[in-house]
Amino acid sequence: MTEQEIEAKVIEIVAEQMGADKSKITRDTSFVEDLNADSLDTVELVMEFEDEFETSIPDDQAEKIQTVGQAVDFIKQANGVD
């Protein structure tokens, strides 16, 4: 899976979970500040990322994932994508 494919899928998941317009979501989109996510929303997003990308995101890392770009970067690293 390429970085572009990961980014597209992360954006799709975020849009679906948060009821947001995909075209308005970028790597800089903050889950809390831009999409008004609460703690439950962020937990659900992390769970969706784990399921979709078949990876485990430790709690200490999940807390650091605040934007779409941070999610993409973590998933890239976890899956060995350059």
DSSP H stretches of helix in the chain? 3-18, 39-53, 59-62, 68-78
Give strand pairing partners of 54.
none
Residue of 21, 38, 73, 82 marked active site: 38
Q: Distance (Å, rounded) from C-alpha 56 to C-alpha 50?
A: 6
Q: Distance (Å, rounded) from C-alpha 29 to C-alpha 55?
A: 22
Active site residue 38: yes
Active site residues: 38
